[in-house]
Structure 1
Amino acid sequence: MLRSSSSHLLRAVRLAPPAGLPKFRTMATAPEASSTDIHTIELPEKTYATYNLEAPELNVKLTTEELLKMYKDMVTVRRLEMASDALYKAKKIRGFHLSIGQEAVAVGIEHAITKKDSVITSYRCHGFTYLRGATVKAVLAELLGRREGVSFGKGGSMHMYAHHFYGGNGIVGAQVPLGTGLAFAHKYLGQDAATVTLYGDGASNQGQIFESFNMAKLWNIPCIYACENNKYGMGTAASRASALTKFYERGQYIPGLKVNGMDVIAVYQATKYAKAWTSAGKGPIVLEFETYRYGGHSMSDPGTTYRTREEIQHMRSESDPIAGLKHRLINEGIITEEELKKIDKETRAFVEKEAAAAEASPPPAAEPKILFEDVYVPGTEVPVLRGRIPEENWSFQK
């Protein structure tokens, strides 16, 4: 189930190998450490819980470069979200939903799949959009309503797209049947690809989710259903809304796996396991990533009326995904603290530069034709698209 590191390295950021890297649990044959050294990371026994299947291996093999790329990606996603937060507080953009604290889920998934696989999620989608190929500038420009936004300033926070990334969807749970259809398309077209369909614990009781489960299992389609359980659906604790809070068991006839969603390597290993499951023709699988959001449900939610500040601080200090990977990299001799601080500093400067460029980018021109763009795939337009009144009808032929 372990895929070779060569294809992954092609899309990794080139980072200089740490100087004087100790040979701590390394399997490399080179006399000196390099970014291609392979390290065996041992996950704790409590990392997984299973339902009608065996757990993934707890020993995970990753190269230095892959580990550093995971770290840098998580830092970038967090800085991206922090930049969004700052723009909101400066009253330059409207409300949205932050994913600070949940970075390990998006990064771990992306590192375990390929660009041929599809991803669809709900409204905490900024990090997924970036990881799927959009720039930080394009994500922030979209929030600002700029023409250079990833959806040309028309979609906003919940409607961002990239190659094989289908949103960012605002209706609770509605992306699950869409993801089921995307997975069906992969099977119908004979592609060795899967769809990761994400939803939150707050959406887990939606009827359309169970309808999707039924269809996926009937047709054995390659869909990885991934519940991001951040413990609260808006302001309601999962235990107050769901009679069964073991979301990985909700598939009934579909096997399930519960994962420590605050550990990026655990998420990576579980997603790789799930992808191998679907590639083997075994049909769908349900993953539950147990994670946590530090902020409120949305920017208008202080997030402290239904949980204590002590609880939030405890999660920040004991389970932070970035700090967790940082400590692991340092303790296992893979990189020094100084080199990680350098990555932190460079990433912060990079995101700040992208944010400034997004803010300086122009708004859409006040031209009626912009309203009719992106309605049809080029070449498939109808002759005339109706407006509110006949005078507003738009002719594509002209």
Structure 2
Amino acid sequence: MAEVIEKKNTKKKSSKYSKETYLTWYETMLRIRRFEEATLQAYGKQKIRGFCHVYIGQEAIAAGLVTAIKQEDPIVTAYRQHGIALSRGLSADSCMAELYGKETGCVKGKGGSMHFFSKEHYYFGGNGIVGAQIPIGTGIGFAEKYRETGGLCVTMFGDGAARQGALYESFNMAMSWQLPVLYICENNGYAMGTSVSRTSNVAELYKIGDAFNMPSEQVDGMSPEAVHEALEKAAKHIRSGKGPYFLEIKTYRYKGHSVSDPAKYRTKDELNSYKEKDPVKMTEAKILDNKIASQDEIDAIKAKIKAEVAHAIQFAEESDYPDPSALYDDNYVQEDYPFIKD
């Protein structure tokens, strides 16, 4: 986790966070942006098939997660999840290979775009069923409490999933048992093509938590600083044993719901209004304007990410598809229990 420190006042506009923190945010967001752009290009060439949902525009949320929670805190999320996986530490090679359906992918080519997983990185996916990850994350939170790890489970979902009954059951259970779960709704305004305002008279989704007396807040999801601060506050509350916390993070996806969506349900003016506060560009400008880092350092990060993504494409292209016999691998886990006899 990047170190966050206070800086003394200088002649230039002072920054609340360290150089390391800002560069961590910038590199995290740029990696996701370039990876997703390469994903769209590969999909256009039919190298990637099936459903595919990119994270372009929402990168500040992933960046804030890197600095505000512990690497050992499990994360479970929905199917727009390439960016979260990359921020968690999964390599661009293994993620791109998975998109290509190759055996070198993070789940051996069997998961595709929506179902990344990594036990090593405490990353529980990537779930294709809308809202299904909410009770899963609640169960993981129960396990963290039962095992007394001191950890919390970050459980992420979109505004569409906020209408699922499983959310209300999970919220009730989490509050009743004071489970260490940080619920995050990534509200990008649209459940597929349906706006939030058309699905409920409660358009400010954080208010859902009020019904359960769950602490809840709304957060600016276009700012890594705002995301970091909200997550850090929520995590402190949870780790103190006070139970779950709910954050509605207002964000925006620049592309359609999936690669097949032309997004004609929104105006160009609306899209452009969010692009004016693009988290990648705004963070780069802040770093340079406040002399947090030099142009050479920024250019070095850009070159590093460009090479990393190019290598990921090459790695995926050159990797083999899984052997058909692998279809039967990893379906079950066999455990030997001493009290079970043949």
Write out per-residue CA displacement over residues 242-295 of structure 1, whole angstroms, 9 at most, x where no aligned residue.
210111111121111111000011111111111101011111111011000000
SS in 2 for 1:85: helix
Question: How far apart in 2 are the matches of 1:281 and 1:379?
Answer: 33
Is residue 291 of structure 1 aligned with residue 251 of structure 2? yes
Question: How far apart are residue 321 of structure 1 and its match?
Answer: 0.7
Within-5 A mapping of 1:67-146: 67-94=22-49, 95-146=51-102
Is residue 239 of structure 1 aligned with residue 197 of structure 2? yes
Equivalent position of 2:307 in the other structure: 349
Question: How far apart are residue 377 of structure 1 and its match?
Answer: 3.0
CA contact (8 A) 1:256 1:286 kept: yes
The structure with the larger Rg is 1
Question: How far apart in 1 are the matches of 2:7 and 2:115?
Answer: 43
Question: How far apart in 2 are the matches of 1:257 and 1:337?
Answer: 36
Question: How far apart are residue 376 of structure 1 and its match?
Answer: 2.4
Question: How far apart are residue 378 of structure 1 and its match?
Answer: 5.5
Question: How far apart in 1 are the matches of 2:72 and 2:336?
Answer: 25
CA contact (8 A) 1:249 1:255 kept: no
Question: How far apart in 1 are the matches of 2:42 and 2:135?
Answer: 33
In angstroms, what is the RMSD of aligned CA positions?
A: 1.9
Equivalent position of 1:26 in the other structure: 7
Is residue 248 of structure 1 aligned with residue 203 of structure 2? no
Q: Which runs of 4+ in 1 moved over 6 A?
A: none
SS in 2 for 1:289: strand
Match of 2:236 among 276, 279, 291: 276
The unaligned stretches of length 5 or more in structure 2 are: 338-342
Question: How far apart are residue 365 of structure 1 and its match?
Answer: 2.1
Equivalent position of 2:270 in the other structure: 311
Question: How far apart in 2 are the matches of 1:166 and 1:378?
Answer: 20
TM-score using structure 1 length: 0.79
Q: Name the one with the larger helix percent.
A: 2
Question: How far apart are residue 27 of structure 1 and its match?
Answer: 3.6
Question: How far apart are residue 375 of structure 1 and its match?
Answer: 1.6
**Kindly, what percent of the aligned residue pairs are identical?**
41
Within-5 A mapping of 1:1-398: 8=2, 26-27=7-8, 41=15, 61-94=16-49, 95-162=51-118, 163-252=121-210, 253-303=213-263, 305-316=264-275, 318-366=276-324, 368=325, 370-377=326-333, 379=335
Question: How far apart are residue 380 of structure 1 and its match?
Answer: 5.5
The unaligned stretches of length 5 or more in structure 1 are: 1-6, 13-24, 29-38, 42-60, 382-398
CA contact (8 A) 2:28 2:62 kept: no
CA contact (8 A) 1:87 1:93 kept: yes
CA contact (8 A) 2:2 2:20 kept: no
Question: How far apart in 2 are the matches of 1:378 and 1:156?
Answer: 25
Number of equivalences: 328
SS in 1 for 2:124: coil
Equivalent position of 1:32 in the other structure: none
CA contact (8 A) 2:2 2:66 kept: no
